[in-house]
Every structure is written in C-alpha cells, then in structure tokens.
Amino acid sequence: MSTNLLSLDEAGLASLVKELGQPAFRAKQIHNWLYDKGASDLEEMTNLPKALRDALAEAASIGSLTQVVEQQSADGTRKRLYRLHDGQLIETVVMPYADGRRTACISSQAGCAMGCVFCATGQMGFQRQLTETEIFEQAWRTAAELKARGERLSNVVMMGMGEPFHNYDAAVGAVRRMMRDLGIGARHITISTVGLVPAIRRFADEGLQVGLAISLHAASDETRSALLPVNRKYPLEELIDACKAYVERTGRRITFEWALIAGQNDSAQEAHRLGRLLSGLLCHVNLIPLNPTARYEGQPTEEADVATFVEVLGRHGVPATVRMRRGIDIDAGCGQLRDRMVDEQD
Ligand code: SAH
Ligand code: SF4
C-alpha cells in the first residue's frame, strides 16, 4: 500500500522526500499545499519539480477516503458517505449556520459497540476503530472543500458514528492535528461521549480547551440502562461524579445531550429528576427531539412537552436549549445514511 501523505507529520514528509532524493525544504512545501491550501491532488503542487510529483504519485497518496454519495438537505446540511480502504462506510456531515460558522460532524469508529437502542449506529454494531488519520481526514477534506468555495471550517464536533472515548488515542490525536494543521481553535472542537467514566477522568487531565458533551438521555439508572446499556457499567452516580471532577479540574462547562423520546424520558417528573441531578453543576442541557430510526419504535416528543421540560429545568437553575434538528430530510442523524444505503443494497 502506498504511503498516505496525511498520515505523515513534517518530519515524516522530510524523510519521504529524502528517500526520493529531494532536499528537505520540499517537505515544507508539501505540508503547505496539504494544510494551508487544502490541495487534494499532487498535480496542484505546481512549485514541486515534475519529477518529484511523479515520484510521489508512485509512492504516496493523499488520503484514503472515497466519497460514495453526498446528499444535500433543504437547510444546507450536506452529508457524505465515505468508503474506507477496506470497504467500511462512515459518515461526515457539514452544517452551515447563518452566522457564518461551518461545523463538521465527524465519525470516530465504523459502527459502535455501545448499543444505545435509539441510535442507528448502535443498531449496526461495531465494525472497527478508525485510525487517527481516518478521523482527521474527514475534517481535512471538509476544510479543503469549504476553502475551495471561499468558506472556512470553523467548528468540529465528534458526534458522527462511533464512541470517541472507546477509541481514545486516535480521537484525541486527531483533535490535536485539527488544532495544529487546520488551525481550528480547541474551543471550537467538541467531543461527545456516551459516558465512559475512566476516559472522562483522563480527558480532564489532557489540558485541552476542547468542549465535552455527555450523552445523558435519562436521569434514573433504570431508564438510562434501558436506553444506554453502558449505564450498567458506569451508572449515573459515577458518571456525575466524573463530570463534577472534570468541571473542577478544567473550569469548563459540560454539555449534556438529551434526545427527547415521547413517553420515555420527557415527563415533567423526569425533568425534575434531571434538574436535581445537575443543579449546581456548571453545565448546559441540549435537548434534541428524537430522530426516529429504523430499528427503534420511539418517537420525538411533542412541542408542548418540550416546552414544559425546558421550563421545569429552568426552575432548578439548569440552562437548556432545544436544538434544531438539522438535515432531517436526508437522514443526517448519526448512522442513518449508511443504514439506508446498506438496506438499499440488500
Ligand atoms: N458516541 C457518542 C457520539 C456520537 S452520537 C455519543 O453517544 O455521545 C452523537 C449524539 O447523537 C449523542 O448524543 C447521541 O446520543 C445522539 N443520538 C444518537 N441517535 C440519535 C437519534 N436517533 N435521535 C437523536 N439523537 C441521537
Ligand atoms: Fe454509539 Fe453514541 Fe450511538 Fe450510543 S449514541 S450507539 S455511543 S454512537
């Protein structure tokens, strides 16, 4: 297999050009083309001698993801399905916002082992870990494509397929590369986790200003374990303890994600329970009406009940906002596009 240039740092590029009999400054030029200019083709690298471009074309490639389909939603959300070198399929979503922000939602694994019942990725099971480069490449490609349109990738959320803290080193390594090579500020990157307690504690010690989101979805162990099997291993008390330690250590606010599912976790009583659980913690709750999926019968909460939920949380002093569902017409929910493409191939 040829060398993927995106997997090499500047020192790695330097040894590659040396092997090809070229001076070290060529590495800097290639680095500049890849990351400052977002070049996806060696032929674009016009200040490299043709002989070097030809030699590189023999020995190396730029990236390993192949786009299978792209869908565009009425709200501007674009979703891509990528094939990895071994045929695995992953998704990347790009969301434009009216204030100019451009957010990429990227995947950390092919499939997911956590089995959350309402999640299309969880329903497909675990396929394999993504490498650091495969995670990074999703952001790199998005940044390059936006740049070509005169736009800039401003934010990245690791909320696509997979559980980033079940692939900790690759996920955190990819985040560092987005900061270094794509110039995305740590504060504009968010990692979302289902709540792997040891990883949350480890992440608190990284010294990164990266945002942390926790998928909570229920405020009692009984309900949470039924929706998120991982809760049996890391029950609420341990999870909230780790969140408190994280806030203390980093001084950063935590975001709690809550998919509102009619009749499951959307009652005023559940809101009170959540309010009591989070009261006094530096946090914010993101409420998202459930995106229905093929293998789960749950439905999104009615608007009036959403409003009551927000109001009850407010009484506990817990700030909450209802997140717009983006790209709902193109299955932009986690894992849903892959799910449908695979179903159609069956
Ligand atoms: N594995 C990580 C990140 C990927 S999922 C995590 O679970 O946090 C990103 C977010 O989408 C999570 O909050 C997840 O719970 C939520 N999600 C998954 N399926 C959903 C659905 N059908 N409707 C609404 N939110 C969903
Ligand atoms: Fe995995 Fe997150 Fe989906 Fe749960 S919600 S199955 S952790 S991707």
Q: Is 155 in the pocket of ligand 2 (CB under 6 A)?
A: no
The finding on whether 119 has its CB within 6 A of some atom of ligand 2 is yes
Report pLDDT for 250: 97
- Structure token digits, residue 24: 């070290």
| Strand boundaries in 177-289, DSSP class E | 189-193, 211-215, 254-260, 283-289
Pocket test for ligand 2, best of 135, 159, 334, 339 (most atoms within 8 A of CB): 334
- Residue 343 confidence (pLDDT): 54
User: What is residue 334's predicted lDDT score, i.e. its pLDDT?
Assistant: 57
pLDDT tens sequence across 169-204: 999 999 999 999 999 999 999 999 999 999 999 999
Q: Would you say residue 82 has pLDDT above 70?
A: yes
Ordered by start, the domain boundaries in the chain are 3-61, 66-345
Q: pLDDT tens digits, residue range 321-335?
A: 998 767 666 665 556
Q: Is the pTM of this model over 0.85?
A: yes
Position 346 scores a pLDDT of 44
Question: How buried is 293 (Cβ within 10 angstroms: 0-12 exposed, 13-18 middle, 19+ buried)?
Answer: buried
Radius of gyration of the chain, Cα coordinates, nearest whole angstrom: 21
**For residue 258, what are the contacts with CB-CB under 8 A and spacing of at least 6?**
216, 217, 265, 274, 285, 286, 287, 288
Answer whether 215 contacts ligand 2 (Cβ < 6 A).
Answer: yes
Q: Identify the three-state secondary structure at position 257.
A: strand
The predicted pLDDT at position 177 comes to 97
Assign domain 3-61 one CATH number from 1.10.260.40, 1.10.150.530, 1.20.1740.10, 3.40.50.1000.
1.10.150.530
Mean per-residue pLDDT, 302-331: 88
Average pLDDT over residues 271-283: 97
Ligand 1 centroid to residue 194 C-alpha, Å:
8
Superfamily (CATH) of domain 66-345: Aldolase class I (3.20.20.70)
* Shortest-distance atom of ligand 1 to CA 288: 24
Q: How far apart are CA 5 and CA 153, in angstroms?
A: 21
Question: Of all residues in the chain, what percent carry a pLDDT higher than 90?
Answer: 89
Distance CA 101, CA 318 (A): 26
Of the listed ranges 156-165, 198-207, 319-328, the one predicted with least confidence: 319-328
Backbone angles phi, psi at 334, to 5 degrees: -45, 115
- Model confidence pLDDT, tens digit, residues 17-76: 999 999 999 999 999 999 999 999 999 999 999 999 999 999 999 999 999 999 988 888
**22 CB-near residues (< 8 Å, 6+ apart):** 49, 52
Q: What are the residue numbers of the active site?
A: 91, 334
Output the CA torsion sign for 316, 318, 321, 325: negative
Mutational pocket test of ligand 2: of 106, 109, 114, 231, the residue with most ligand atoms within 8 Å of the beta carbon: 114
Per-residue pLDDT of 97-129, as tens digits, reads 989 999 999 999 999 999 999 999 999 999 999
The token duo for 13 is 């590029």
